[in-house]
Structure 1
Amino acid sequence: MTTVAFIKWIGYDQEVLDISLVSFNEIEPHIIYYLKDNLEKIFDTGVNEGPSLNVPKSYNQKRKQYLSWPFLEALSKPKLASQYVLGITEVDLFVPELNFIFGEAAPRLGIAVISLARLHQHFYSLPEDIDILKQRALKEAVHEIGHLLGLNHCKDPKCVMHFSSSLVDTDIKGHRFCSSCQKRYR
């Protein structure tokens, strides 16, 4: 089953499904364009660019990371016509119960955020590879949008909905839903 068929099957009209990308501070344009282009293809829907927002003042000096919920709160404030809003930031995010997160979603609000910080090769003192960064960002974007569509984490390590506890998990999984996730719906 294709993603388009899946979206129709779970009751979403592909003409109604609409996604906005919102960057926190500046994100390299080629990353935004790559995500926009690929999300449009994967979900067969329009993807808009919303206004850029400032990084919320949620920096934790001890952890040297930013608490994620203020990012979600910031995304809920702009009046965007889109059904779903995905924020993108370069800062390292966390929730209190985890060391870090690649992303977080608030499905009831239709908002999610992904962090590119740990998706960069240079975070691990490796030479930067833009293609790898783009692929990782796409996987995390599709994963968080999957949560917005009502999907939970999947046990299949190749499914985009598999929980990534490390970058290895992100690199192993694909950017599409497995057949089991395509069968689940809200």
Structure 2
Amino acid sequence: MIAVVSIGPLERWLIDGIVQFVSDYYSRFGISVEEVGEVPAEPFSVAFNPRRNQYLGRVFLPTLSSLATKLEAIAVVGITDLDLYEEGLNFIFGLANPSLRSAIVSVRRLRNEFYSLEPDENLLLRRAVKEVMHELGHVFGLPHCPNPKCVMHFSNSLVDTDVKGPLYCPICERKLIENLRKLGVLK
């Protein structure tokens, strides 16, 4: 099972839409996807950098990893509206660690409102799905892909996210299947 958890409150339709898409994809491999509830954002206050007004993404991963272990999940992805960063980067849409079997995705900069544009729920859902699929790809050992249409293409900006599709290209999908076999998830 892949567990999806919201960190802090998020719109129900957004979580449901992400879970539905990821479930539709990974069910082809016999992997279920379940939304496992909400974790309060307060315990992650240690990740907050007041100078930047952002949260250090890597701080979330060990806690999510322990949740994966507790739930006996093959992976866990946290979704939050907190603004995330990593050292050397202005911001990140998400981050994953294959050895921890965990990923974190922020929808803060995926929202049109962040850029003073009109809200667009459909666009937000498409962007969030792409970032969750991307980070799950990393959890399962996929590197970045040079194909700008592949979900594993690196998103340096929102334009990159909007250009790429929500699915793995044939090369990345073959690697994904191979990696899932190595992990013992597929026979």
Specify if TM > 0.5: yes
Contact 1:50 1:80 in 2 (8 A): no
Deviations 1:96-140 (A, max 9, x none): 121110000011111001000000000000000000000000000
Aligned-residue Cα RMSD (Å) equals 1.1
Name the counterpart of 2:34.
48
Name the counterpart of 2:99.
108
Does residue 10 of structure 2 align to residue 27 of structure 1?
A: yes
Task: Please list every run of 5 or more consecutive structure 2 residues that lacks an aligned counterpart in the other structure.
Answer: 180-187
Name the counterpart of 1:152.
143
State the secondary structure of the residue aligned to 2:5.
Answer: strand
Q: Percent identity?
A: 43
Give the structure-1-normalised TM-score: 0.87
- Work out the CA distance in 2 between the residues paired with 1:104 and 1:87: 10
Corresponding residue to 1:91 among 82, 86, 97:
82
- Work out the CA distance in 1 between the residues paired with 2:152 and 2:97: 15
State the secondary structure of the residue aligned to 1:108.
Answer: coil
Give 1 or 2: higher helix fraction: 2
Does residue 120 of structure 2 align to residue 120 of structure 1?
A: no
- Work out the CA distance in 1 between the residues paired with 2:119 and 2:77: 24
- Work out the CA distance in 1 between the residues paired with 2:53 and 2:100: 28
Name the counterpart of 1:80.
71
Does residue 54 of structure 2 align to residue 65 of structure 1?
A: yes
Name the counterpart of 1:36.
19
Contact 2:143 2:152 in 1 (8 A): yes
Task: Please list every run of 5 or more consecutive structure 1 residues that lacks an aligned counterpart in the other structure.
Answer: 1-17
- Work out the CA distance in 1 between the residues paired with 2:10 and 2:120: 16
Structure 1 runs, 4 residues or longer, greater than 4 Å off: none
Contact 2:76 2:101 in 1 (8 A): yes
Contact 2:82 2:106 in 1 (8 A): yes
